[in-house]
Chain A
Amino acid sequence: AQSVTQLGSHVSVSEGALVLLRCNYSSSVPPYLFWYVQYPNQGLQLLLKYTSAATLVKGINGFEAEFKKSETSFHLTKPSAHMSDAAEYFCAVSSMDTGRRALTFGSGTRLQVQP
C-alpha cells in the first residue's frame, strides 16, 4: 500500500524567502508522485508531477520538486515566495501500478507568506 507523510502542518515564510515543503512517501511499487495546491473552498490544482522521467520536476508558478529514491522524498521548493502562494499544499502518491488509479494524499501543509 502507498502512503504519504508531510512533515509540518504549517509553514510560515517571509515574502521573497525560500519555500520548502516536505513530503516522504512509502510505496511497494515505483511511485507516481504529485503536488497539488488548494485555495480556500476550492478544488485542487496540479502544481507538478513525477512519473519516472526526470527526477527534478518543474511545475507551475515557479515551483519544483526533486524525487530522491534513496530518501523516499519528494520535497517541494520555490526560490522566492510570493503572497499569492499562501494556500494548502498536498503531496499525493498514485497507485496506478497496482491498477487502482485513486490518489492517496498526505495530511497537507498550510503555507503562510508574511509581508
Chain B
Amino acid sequence: GAVVSQHPSWVICKSGTSVKIECRSLDFQATTMFWYRQFPKQSLMLMATSNEGSKATYEQGVEKDKFLINHASLTLSTLTVTSAHPEDSSFYICSAPGLANTGELFFGEGSRLTVL
C-alpha cells in the first residue's frame, strides 16, 4: 500500500522560532497532500491542501502566513510553523490520496509540536 512518512515525530521549540515538518510519500507520487491539525482528544481539522507546483489552499480561519506550506516535488510537502507560540502546540498530521482514486487517504505518523 501507499506509505506516507512524517518527520520529525516530536519537536519542542522556543516561542518565536520556526519549525518545519516534512511529509513524504515513499512509494508513490502525490500531487496533492492534506495537512490536518489535531488538538488533544479532538478530531482532525483540515488546515490546508498542498498542491505540487502551486500555492496551497487554506481552510477558512487558518493563517497562511503562520503556516507556510511548500510542495516542491511529487513526493514532498513541508509545513513550516512560523514564529511559533504555545497555542500552536498540537499534533499535525499529513495525508495523501492513493493512486486508486477510491477516496482513501494515507496518513503519516503525525508530528507533535510543543512550543515552550
Contact = CB atoms under 8 A, between A and B. Distances in A.
A-side interface mostly: strand
B107 A43 contact: yes
Given A32-B103, A96-B103, A102-B34, A43 B43 contact: no
A107 B42 contact: yes
B63 interface: no
Nearest to A96: B103
B43 A106 contact: yes
Interface in A61-115: 90, 94, 96, 100-108, 110
Nearest to B38: A38
B102 A43 contact: no
25 contacts: A34-B104, A41-B91, A42-B109, A43-B6, A43-B108, A44-B44, A44-B93, A44-B107, A45-B107, A46-B104, A49-B102, A51-B103, A90-B44, A94-B103, A96-B101, A100-B49, A101-B34, A101-B105, A103-B34, A105-B44, A106-B43, A107-B42, A107-B43, A108-B42, A108-B43
Interface of A: 32, 34, 36, 41-46, 49, 51, 90, 94, 96, 100-108, 110
